[in-house]
Amino acid sequence: MARVPYLDCAATTQVDPRVAELVMRFMVEEFGNAGSRTHTYGAAAQREVNSARERIAATLAASPEEIIFTSGATESDNLAILGLAEAGLESGRRHIVTTAIEHKAVLEPVEHLKTRGFDATLVCPDRLGHVAAGEVLGAVRPDTLLVSVMHANNETGALQPVDAIAEGLANLGDGDGPYFHVDAAQSYGKETGELRNTRIDLISISGHKVFAPKGVGALLARRRRGRRPPLRPLMHGGGQERGLRPGTLPVPLIAGLGLAAELAEAERAERARACRRIRAAALEAFAPLAPVVHADPSRVLPNILSIAFPGLDAEALMVALKDMAAVSNGSACTSERYSLSHVLEAMGLPSEIVSGTVRMSWSHATPAVPWERIADAIGLMA
């Protein structure tokens, strides 16, 4: 089957060959169980897990023992949100502030907590897809347990003001103020600066968005004034990951995530430059078609373009482009059941723009994209 250029890196990325080599080594040579304490196979596996923990912690200005390995950002989000539920019930803090544009991996656990007596405020974005820090902070109440705001939206690439929210929470001056969770599945490895803000208590990351394999992620649970967030496990078993995520550690995947994290950090500026060049070329080719481009250009991930062409439906566009590029109409995670994007709807866009939006996303490793040909094909449809 002929392969067209892959423009869906926000859904998943290829594994970096350097990462794949390391993963392979820990699958076929160093295959020990990191929990085995009686032989060198176990020790080698444990060393690699420790090294991955250190590599990831270094990118987030955190301590290695604050990293909990999970199966991906969905699990990390669930652990951050549902894992705090008992603490909320015990302390009487049963209010959550989040946004209407979160991934379902945040919205659904929050929805679930509503069935357990919690109350949630969902802050809406502006028409470009950005929430205002002031609105998030304004929704915080004395009984707010958790504030959860994504760093970069997976459909539009719009960056959210997590730094300003963290500063605002710090200025509340209350050591017991709400926990702050950031779903950084899309921004991790790309916009790590803000994620180093120590008032962000919990950060979810995903391996397969940063050139590591699928099936691995991490939750950073940062100590605040020496105290860990009072998470409770969602599963019970062998006590791994300080009891918060029991189960035999997937050493090859963890090794891969560790190396991918380090590479992303080391190559961050150069990768961003490559992505910005691709975005500029796409926008130049599409300009004559007068598209609607979502997200403020000064506050968007350089590898995501969320775009609508007046009068054109996203489904028809994807069919027309199928032999030219692999694009998507938004989130891969919800595309099994076709429904309109809750993100674009929350932005208050007209329905023809919501149903006309496609997402094109790439990486520094994306080979030349025939933007002019793509633009010509779209132009012929109009």
List, by residue number, the catalytic residues: 333
38 vs 338 by CB, closer to ligand PLP: 338
154 lies in the binding site for ligand PLP (CB under 6 A): yes
68 lies in the binding site for ligand PLP (CB under 6 A): no
Which span sits near ligand PLP by CB under 6 A: 84-92, 118-126, 179-187, 374-382?
A: 179-187
Hey, which residues between 32 and 51 contact ligand PLP (CB under 6 A)? none
List the structure tokens of 281: 């070329």
Which of 13, 46, 59, 74 binds ligand PLP (CB under 6 A)? It is 74
131 lies in the binding site for ligand PLP (CB under 6 A): no
Which of 124, 316, 333, 382 binds ligand PLP (CB under 6 A)? It is 333
Nearest distance in Å: CB 44, ligand PLP = 27
| Binding-residue pattern over the window 180 to 219 for ligand PLP, x denoting contact by CB under 6 A | ---x-xx-------------------x----------x--
| Binding-residue pattern over the window 80 to 119 for ligand PLP, x denoting contact by CB under 6 A | -----------------------x-x--------------
128 vs 377 by CB, closer to ligand PLP: 128
Which span sits near ligand PLP by CB under 6 A: 53-61, 71-79, 158-166, 279-287?
A: 71-79
Judged by the rule CB under 6 A, the positions of this chain that interact with ligand PLP are 72-74, 77, 103, 105, 150, 154, 183, 185-186, 206, 217, 333
